[in-house]
Structure 1
């Protein structure tokens, strides 16, 4: 699937699912509280599909997919038929209005837990956290060595590469020294401290990760598959052979081997390759060919593939998956609130915000990595929507909840004038936030 088309498609799938679930929360609780729902809309603007349900509600899908709404019978928007006065929203007790408004974020939270639960049952294919460090980087100076396995980050156990990097990324927001427990290639365990406090303030996570220099360990120079009838097979190479040298040049990673083969074959197609097979060291003579392999561009090939990285996948029983889901939801929410707090106080950069372009790219990438990854992505976005909507900003659910809590305290509704002023302030804040996120998305495409 084309990356642009794929990004748009999976963005629409993501927003369609999450917005529908959010609005259904408002709708379902409103109906249970006896409020008449006039319209249930996924998207804004002109309707591209609609129908009237048996309950009298108009259901529609609108052209602009960046949200949705539930329109209820509301005396503030015009005259209400006296026969329907008992189904009008503002006439309901304040606790019912609070329940209706809170139901949207609440359903997003439920969706998050279910999506994480499904992810843990299906499994999210990953690789083991075997790492290395870019030369002269912060990680290298802290003592990270090629082939180290991360066991825990800041005291929290990790089992996969993505979990490790998520933990490091969260720590980068605070830029405090970060202890990392490692197991070296010799089997010995040791703790190194990444001096994140030395990172400059005001940069986004991507820039911090570049400066940190932490990366997956290079693949060992071990042959995975030898293609039948190709030069390597004809020369006697076998799967599992470890490449020692090419034309006398030592090889320490599969990436080095991939570069040496075409470079040396361009000088002379016959290559002297030494491999280690078990306890034996064997010299092989392999004559490379100039051809296209598996749809790739034409080049010098010998017909081998690399040994795959060590897999790591978290897959649990339904009961254990639910426990892991609740724990992950809690820790993710905690990290999100931590990030928001640090951005508000200036300790973390607002460059970390992403808009619809960034979401679309991640949606496409996660969908291409498998069902488990896409459920994980949906859970993260759903939780973010729940938290965003609970912020006490007028026009968002959190703003209405603030009004109703004030009403509970003072015993009477907030004045219409105050509500209108709050709505204008809320719109300015919301559009500023959206504009900043969109600017960050665009800025990431520009050369630094």
Structure 2
């Protein structure tokens, strides 16, 4: 699928699922509390589909898919039939109103736990934290060598690349030195410090990660699979051959192999390939050919595939998966609040905020990586929605909860004038936040580094 169309499609899937679940939380609890629901809408604006349910609620899908709402019977919005007064929202006890408002974010958290639980049940595919460092990067300066396996990051044991990356990303926000322990390809353990304090201020995590230069180690230059009928096989190469050089130029890893084949074949497709086979050196005359791989532009190939990177699949039974899901939900929650706190204090740049465009791009990428990654993505976005909605900003759920807290303390509802003023403030804050997120998304596209 075209990347643009794929991003749009998976964005709609993401928003459709998460908004529906969020609004269903408000709807379900409101009904349980005896409040009459007039409309359940996914999206804003003009309805493109709607029907009236047996309960009298109007269910609709609207044209603008960036949210949704549940409209309840509310005396603040017009006269209420005395017969229906007991089903009106403001007539309910304060605890019922709190439950109804909190249910949306609450259901998002439930969705997050369920998504992570299913992900761990299916098996979360990850890579072992075997890394390398780009030349002249901070990681290289710290002493990271090709093939190093991360053992601890910030004093905490790590077993996967994702686990390592999450810890490193949080440290990047504060730009403070980060201690790591690695085991080299020679089996020797070393203690290193990543000098994150050398990073410039005011950049996002992606830019910091580029400057750090810590990456998964590429596969070794081993022809794990030699495609029958392709140039390498026709020349006599076999699966398991370790490729040493192309036209006399040494090859370090499989990524470099591809680059050297393209560079050499663009001058002449006739290549001299030196390999190591069970300790014996052999040389083959391989004639490369142009081929389109995975609908990409045609390029020079010889028909060999790399060994699979070392996988670390996290798959558990139902009980263990639930424990891991709860732990992951808690960790992501604390990470999010840490990041928000650092942005508020100025330690982290607001460039880390992403909007709809950024979410669409990540949604498409996650969907291409498999169901486990897409479930993880859905869980993370759902958790973010819950946290954002709980912020004490008027017009958000957290703002309403703040009003109810004030009502509990002072013994009477917040005045209508205060609520109207709060709405204006809340709308201004949200517009500012959305504008900043949109600016960041466009900035990343136009100036990616």
* TM range, smaller chain: over 0.9
Flag the 1:425–1:289 CA change in 2: closer, same or farther, 3 A: closer
Are 1:408 and 2:416 an aligned pair?
no
Alpha-carbon shift at residue 271 of structure 1 (Å): 3.4
Q: Which residue of 1 aligns with 2:172?
A: 172
Q: Deviation digits for residues 120-149 of structure 1, max 9, x if unmatched?
A: 111222222211111111111111111101
Contact 2:270 2:288 in 1 (8 A): no
Contact 1:230 1:302 in 2 (8 A): yes
RMSD across aligned positions (CA): 1.5
> Whole-Å Cα distance in 2 between the matches of residues 11 and 185 of structure 1?
42
Alpha-carbon shift at residue 274 of structure 1 (Å): 2.3
> Whole-Å Cα distance in 2 between the matches of residues 177 and 290 of structure 1?
48
1:326-337 matches, within 5 Å, as: 326-337=326-337
TM-score (norm 2): 0.96
Q: Which residue of 2 aligns with 1:252?
A: 252
> Whole-Å Cα distance in 1 between the matches of residues 265 and 81 of structure 2?
86
Contact 1:272 1:283 in 2 (8 A): no
Are 1:354 and 2:357 an aligned pair?
no
Q: Which residue of 2 aligns with 1:318?
A: 318
> Whole-Å Cα distance in 2 between the matches of residues 380 and 299 of structure 1?
37
Q: Deviation digits for residues 258-311 of structure 1, max 9, x if unmatched?
A: 233344345555433221222x22322223143425566555432212222122
Q: Deviation digits for residues 324-378 of structure 1, max 9, x if unmatched?
A: 0000000100000011111111111100000000000000100111000000000
1:37-48 matches, within 5 Å, as: 37-48=37-48
Flag the 1:189–1:39 CA change in 2: closer, same or farther, 3 A: same
Are 1:155 and 2:185 an aligned pair?
no
Which segments of 5 or more consecutive residues in structure 1 lack a partner in the other structure?
none
Q: Name the SS of the counterpart of 1:185 in structure 2.
A: coil
Contact 1:113 1:325 in 2 (8 A): yes
Flag the 1:321–1:299 CA change in 2: closer, same or farther, 3 A: closer
> Whole-Å Cα distance in 2 between the matches of residues 267 and 59 of structure 1?
65
Contact 1:288 1:301 in 2 (8 A): no
Q: Which residue of 2 aligns with 1:292?
A: 291
Q: Which residue of 1 aligns with 2:369?
A: 369
Q: Which residue of 1 aligns with 2:33?
A: 33
> Whole-Å Cα distance in 2 between the matches of residues 91 and 273 of structure 1?
82
Q: Which residue of 1 aligns with 2:208?
A: 208
Q: Which residue of 1 aligns with 2:281?
A: 282
Q: Name the SS of the counterpart of 1:176 in structure 2.
A: coil
Contact 1:227 1:303 in 2 (8 A): yes
Flag the 1:245–1:26 CA change in 2: closer, same or farther, 3 A: same
Q: Which residue of 2 aligns with 1:240?
A: 240
Q: Name the SS of the counterpart of 1:338 in structure 2.
A: helix
For these two proteins, the number of residue pairs brought into alignment is: 447
> Whole-Å Cα distance in 1 between the matches of residues 381 and 223 of structure 2?
40
Contact 1:221 1:251 in 2 (8 A): yes
Q: Name the SS of the counterpart of 2:361 in structure 1.
A: helix
Contact 1:131 1:149 in 2 (8 A): yes
Q: Name the SS of the counterpart of 2:312 in structure 1.
A: strand
TM-score (norm 1): 0.96
Are 1:4 and 2:12 an aligned pair?
no
Contact 2:177 2:196 in 1 (8 A): yes
1:260-271 matches, within 5 Å, as: 260-266=260-266, 269-271=269-271
Alpha-carbon shift at residue 383 of structure 1 (Å): 0.3
